[in-house]
Each structure stands twice: as structure tokens, then as C-alpha cells.
Amino acid sequence: MKGIIFDLDGVLVFTDKFHYRAWKAIADDMGIYFDEKINNRLRGVSRMDSLEIILERYEGKLLTMAEKVSLAEKKNQIYRELLRTMTPEDVSEEVRDTLKKLHVDGFKLAIGSSSKNTKFILEKVELIDAFDAVSDGTNITRSKPDPEVFQKAAKYLRVAPEECAVVEDAFAGIDAAKSGGMYAIGIGEASKYEKADAHIEEFAELTEILEK
């Protein structure tokens, strides 16, 4: 392996709880049932696709595209307010140390996230300098499980997909890595996903897996 591509939400930072709170506010407002289990389906999925999943339980009138865009914008405003509370302490020492170690060992590191808030988050937690490249929701047209975000990350790193490992907490992200021809490492929710090539419980285990 020469390149490592990291998902952001749920791997490096735990913004999932903010996504949940923001979507929950929108769902409650519209009388839509929404819980943590449904929230899990939103991992790695773009903002508009996430809205469609939430609207599966909506019993009101058919919404226009403009109404949907406005709902997604409203969710993002709530989410961004929550993100503003983030500080460098929201990234664990374990994550920072492991990233440094991998870099020193010669791996090229990239972010591969569906989030359009990626750069904002990386700046808030002061992690932006830890990566050689960032591929995120602002440079893709198809969200995970499509491999586009990882393929672009590999391209920015100038590493062939077969020489890239992807670290993911989302099932959709593992599927994306596999269909892009990459080695998929599952962590968190995806640590039990059978389609992943390797499974880890702790972030620091990455050094053992990748330095073999």
C-alpha cells in the first residue's frame, strides 16, 4: 500500500451525533419518525440522498425540488451551528499520533468524504495539515457507494487505486472502496461488515495492518 484514504465523519471525528441532532430537528418539525437506526443509514450518504431516506416516512404532500433543497439547507444551518463548537480536542491523541506515524513511514494520506463541510471541520479541529490531499462532497457528483470520491482522492495522491487502502465506518463507504478496486478497512459500525478486507476496533491498529 502507498496511499491511505480516510473517511472523515465517524472515523477521524465524531460528527455523527451532530448530523443526527440536525436531521432530528427537521424530522420532528415535519412529524416524521426518525431514530438512531435510520441515522445509521445516512453514514457516507450525501445530504440530498440523506433527505430522501428521511422522507421515506413522510406522509404529507409531495415536495417540490425547491422545498427539498430548502430543507437540506435548513439542516445544514443547524449542523454548521453545532460544528462551530468543535475544537482540536475533538480529535483524539490516538488519531493524531497514528496519522503522524503513517506519514513518517512514507504513506500518502488523503481524505475521502461525502461531506461538503469537510474543509470547515478539518480547520476547526486543526487537522488540515495532516493530509496530502482532500477529496470531498464539493468535488464529486455521485455519493458513496459510488467510488468517485475515493478515485479522485487516489488521483490527487498520484497513487493507483490498487495501492490505496480506505478507512471507513460506513457500509456504503466499504462498498465504494471495493468497487473502486481498493483495500477496505472497516472501523466503528463497519468493523463487523463482512465485505471489508480488514476490521479494526481501535484506530491505532492501522499501523499493524498497513505495515505488514
By CB under 5 A, the residues from 17 to 56 that bind Mg ion are 43
Q: Is 9 one of the annotated active-site residues of the chain?
A: yes
Which DSSP state fits 210? H
Site for ligand G6P contains 135 (CB under 6 A): no
Active-site pick, 7, 16, 90, 146: 7
Q: Which three cell numbers stand for residue 101?
A: 506515524
In the sheet where 183-186 sits, what is the strand order? 133-135, 108-112, 3-6, 164-168, 183-186, 198-199
Site for ligand G6P contains 117 (CB under 6 A): yes
Q: Which three cell numbers stand for residue 33?
A: 419518525
**Could you tell me which stretch among 36-44, 154-162, 178-186, 189-197 binds ligand G6P (CB under 6 A)?**
36-44
Q: Among 3, 4, 5, 7, which residue sits at the site for Mg ion (rule: CB under 5 A)?
A: 7
Q: Is 7 one of the annotated active-site residues of the chain?
A: yes
- Rounded to whole angstroms, the Cα distance separating 174 from 122 reads 22
By CB under 6 A, the residues from 1 to 30 that bind ligand G6P are 9, 19
**Could you tell me which stretch among 41-49, 61-69, 92-100, 185-193 binds ligand G6P (CB under 6 A)?**
41-49
Strands (E), 50-182: 108-112, 133-135, 164-168
